[in-house]
Chains A and B, each alone.
Chain A
Amino acid sequence: MTPRWARPGPAALGVRGAALALAAAGLAHTLWRGVHDPGHALAFGALVTIGELARWGALPGEREPAPLGAAGALAYALLGRSDGEPTSHGALQVVAVLAAAQLVASVPQLARGDGPDADQVARRLLTVTFAAVCFQPLYNAGLCERWFGDGPYYAAFLLLLLGLTALCDAVLAALLLRARTLPRGSRAAPAPYGPFLRDELRALTGIGSAVCATGAVMALGVAAAGLWALPVLCVPLLLTQLSFRRFAAVRTTYRQTIASLARSTEIAGYTPHGHARRVAELCTAVGREMGLTGSELTVLECAALMHDIGQLSLVDPVPDGATALLPAAEQRRIALLGGAVVRQTGVDARVAVVVERQADPYREQPLSARIVRAVNAYDDLCGEGLSGPLGALEQLRLGTGHDYQPQVVESLARVLARGGLTPVPLG
């Protein structure tokens, strides 16, 4: 995380403030009124604490670094009975237990000098509060029992509530991510909200649904079998977390290897230093600005990283590696050579297509290739040193008749005006 994001925008501040107020209210209320069912509060608090501790070994690409903590907290929010007996804790006690568990779990982290990510803690607190506020008052008033009974309909009701909670979480997460794209005080328009939300919603099918399912099953399992159900139900979720972690690890390695392959043209002296990385970062920002999400963004990033790989086949380097200044036929030949290399790398075949078509006139290109072409030209032109960023943009605008798509160039201008590159969530 770059220091630029360290100062939160108004949206992030609002979320954190709300979470802080809620936690304070929950703790105060619980201290004032005393703890209902202390055994259960302790058991769930311990579960959440242990689950949150798992954040430690988290890799950068993980979407939910503490699934056990999330599932435990959701289960406590939706806990209506235990071992057949009804429970009596209210929504505020749920908030208090979660806040206390988060505090305890952050002690070792604080001791090491790096605090927990405030945004994630706030998000977890708000999401769980949403579930608890939807369920606990209804249950404690006896309405739940009257409407749904204690059978399959009750289970379906819990699942429905969890679905709503997941949606609420996705909305919050997208809001926080988007807030990070803007430095505080910037007046430029922030990145559009839609793509962030779409990404978050898509991610729900992964670990998100496993967390929700485990949360529901824990609530039901404890209702049917008592607290012994908790450790037994942790095991499958831990397995899921392990799989996700391994997947994130191999994915990180894979990205590193692709980046190395992309950097080889720089070391060979074909392209200027840092060119591939800069083009990849700008391309993803522009892609997000234009509404690309998920796998489309990944393809775009990969293609941008490897767009110059075809130059390895040249016996002599192009001056400064600036392919944008070569004759069109030569550009296309290098693009085709690059596509041939990319096809061997085992990445998505769409990446090779983008690399192959990067030098075509924009009307014949897929959108990703248009973005790569414009951004590559921008970086090449900036590197010339004569015109600088503004001159480079001007030249791109002059080329919108044939080479560069006007919308792409305008998106690029907006991204540059914002002065910040959009972070790409992994996974």
Chain B
Amino acid sequence: MKATRGAVRAHIGAVALGAALCASPALSPGAGTPWATLGLLAGLCLACELPGRFPFFSGSGPIGAGSFFPLLLTAALLLPPPAAALVAVPGSLVGRVDKPPAAARRIWRAAELALAVWAAARVHTLLGGPAALGGPAPGSPPDLPYALLPVCAATLAFSAVLALLDGSILLVAEHLPARRAWRGLLTRSLGPHLVHGLAGLMMAVLWNSSYGPPAALVVLLPMYISGWVFAQYHREHAAHRATIRALVQAVDIKDTYTRGHSERVGRASVLIAQELGMDRERVEVLRFAGILHDVGKLGVPTRVLRKDGPLTPEERRVIELHPEYGHEIVRGIGFLGEARAAILHHHERLDGSGYPYGLSGRGIPECARVVAVADAFDAMTSTRSYRRGRPVPVAVEELKRCAGTQFDPRMVRALARGLERHGWFGAVTADDTQLPPPRDAESAGPVPAPLSPRPDGTEGEGPR
């Protein structure tokens, strides 16, 4: 641990030293640094960072540091490399950090941005970019199609240096293997950076033109607004997730036996989907299918759901309507897609003896077969007020026994593989602390509490 901290410090120190060396020529007396431009750009970067620091603005400003990258790239195009390196420093040093240690993170951020901007400016100068930007005089228009080349090269250099440094700190601090540390870093950021680079190019052209810096700043407005919308998107996304959870919790209000069941079925469905090699989007859909599979219980009278003891055939029929109720509730939620079919069919059995439609074999949608296995697995392994959960290996054996008649063997095998690889957490223990101790058949009053799994099959309970 101590060695790690030392190594991280040394790494940050080395990068910071490199950045300082790159920037130092700007401070020498004869460098001719354009201090006015430098000061204006650095001040703007600072202004973009400040909203993150004060709670008053935090609800309205764009998140992350992406909002001022166009400014940094503008600086790389407008200023000589050593001066450009200085632009990001004040903003990074006061910017918001999410986790301690704050000082080290700020220094790291300032140093890596300084190096990246310096590299971009260097590449831009080497390709003759500054001359292509034009000037305020009538005789020097920008050489536009050509100017795109140095700008794209500079952006590429910027992205590459950032990715390299980001990966290196992951390598040193988190001990990630080299391949994982760098995987996807460059490809993910290059697209957005190119957009920022193009905005930076137009800013630089207008900055140098007779219209001056104020006109250039207007280019930033769309970028700033898209950052702001992006932040709102994230907030709305979080609210949406909370609403899905609320749907599940509404079920919990009615059916207190199965608390936490939905979330766990969601997790088990994801486990199976990943083992089957489904793509990420489909895995997400299956997570929602698992979480929402019992949402139709909202339509079942609370009295029937909470009833202790054996159900009459009439009551069982009412409970067996819950997949259809569930499908009716989520029908209007477009993004669920396939998950809606899973909710409708998660009680179908492979041999055709399930409900609501008695589909069999391949007629049952694939995702419904996944959720059915996940549902039964969690129903067997979790502890309910009236019985203890079974151990995971016993449950898997039971599932394997019923594979082919009730469950799709492919899904059962995938679950078994997934459990071997990742384990299963919180299956038996999750509810132990919250629920009353198991009731005793003799002392429970007039209605004997069921000691065996409830025979109604509402939770895919019993492979029979």
Contacts and interface: CB of A to CB of B under 8 A. Distances in A.
Contacts of B245: 344-346
A341 B246 contact: yes
B240 A254 contact: yes
Interface in A148-174: 150-152, 154-156, 159
Interface string B220-235: 0111011101101100
A317 B295 CA distance: 18
B289 interface: no
A256 B331 CA distance: 9
B205 interface: yes
B240 A226 contact: no
A216 B222 CA distance: 12
A341 B205 contact: no
Interface stretch (B14-22, B81-89, B107-115, B247-255): B247-255
Given A213-B222, A235-B199, A345 B243 contact: yes
B103 interface: no
A250 interface: yes
Contacts of B226: 210, 236, 239-240, 242-244
Interface string B200-231: 01100110011110110011011101110110
Given A83-B141, A235-B198, A312-B253, A152 B298 contact: no
B333 A256 contact: yes
A295 interface: no
Interface in A347-401: 347
Interface in A411-426: none
Given A155-B214, A228-B144, A210 B330 contact: no
Which of A242, A250, A251, A259 has the largest count of B CB atoms less than 10 A from its CB?
Answer: A250
B236 A251 contact: yes
Nearest to A247: B233
Interface string A207-233: 101100110110011011110110011
B335 to A, nearest CB: 5
A111 interface: no
Contacts of B183: none
Interface in A252-267: 252-254, 256-261, 263-265, 267
Contacts of B202: 217, 221, 229, 232-233
B101 interface: no
A206 B215 contact: no
Chain A binding site: helix, strand, loop or mixed by DSSP? helix
A137 interface: no
Contacts of B229: 206, 240, 243-244, 247
Given A224-B209, A225-B134, A259 B250 contact: no
B328 interface: yes
Contacts of B253: 312-313, 341
B325 interface: yes
A221 B205 contact: yes
A250 B221 contact: no
Nearest to B335: A253
Given A151-B212, A240-B226, A346 B195 contact: no
A214 to B, nearest CB: 6
Contacts of B330: 260
Which of B225, B233, B244 has the largest count of A CB atoms less than 10 A from its CB?
Answer: B225
Given A213-B221, A260-B329, A344-B246, A226 B144 contact: yes
A254 B233 contact: no
Interface stretch (B118-126, B274-282, B299-307, B416-424): B299-307
A312 B246 CA distance: 12
B222 A225 contact: no
B142 interface: yes
Interface residues of B, number: 66
A191 interface: no
A155 B298 contact: no
Nearest to A206: B225
Given A236-B199, A247-B232, A346 B238 contact: yes
B102 interface: no
A258 B141 CA distance: 55
Contacts of B219: 213, 217, 233, 236
A84 interface: yes
A209 B144 contact: no
Given A220-B215, A247-B233, A344 B221 contact: no
A221 B329 CA distance: 52
A261 B332 contact: no
A344 B250 CA distance: 10
A239 B205 contact: no
Given A152-B211, A152-B212, A225 B205 contact: yes
A28 interface: no
A346 B242 contact: yes
Nearest to B223: A236
B236 A229 contact: no
A346 B243 contact: yes
Contacts of B29: none
B215 A155 contact: yes
A225 B144 contact: yes
A254 B246 contact: no
Given A240-B222, A246-B233, A268-B299, A344 B242 contact: yes
Interface in B112-171: 134, 138, 141-142, 144-145, 148
A315 interface: yes
Contact of A260 (B144, B211, B333): B333
A292 to B, nearest CB: 21
A246 B242 CA distance: 19
A14 to B, nearest CB: 33
A224 B243 contact: no
Nearest to B298: A264
A156 B211 CA distance: 9
A100 to B, nearest CB: 26
Nearest to B305: A315
A346 B215 contact: no
Nearest to A252: B334
A225 B142 contact: yes
A237 interface: yes
Nearest to A224: B209
Given A207-B225, A213-B218, A237-B222, A312 B250 contact: yes
Contact of A254 (B198, B230, B239, B249): B239
Given A209-B225, A312-B253, A257 B244 contact: yes
A263 B243 CA distance: 13
10 contacts: A209-B225, A217-B206, A243-B226, A244-B226, A246-B230, A260-B333, A263-B329, A267-B299, A312-B298, A314-B302
Interface of B: 134, 138, 141-142, 144-145, 148, 195, 198-199, 201-202, 205-206, 209-212, 214-215, 218-219, 221-223, 225-227, 229-230, 232-233, 236-247, 249-250, 253-254, 295-296, 298-303, 306, 325, 328-335
3 closest Cβ contacts across the A-B interface?
A: A346-B242, A228-B144, A213-B221
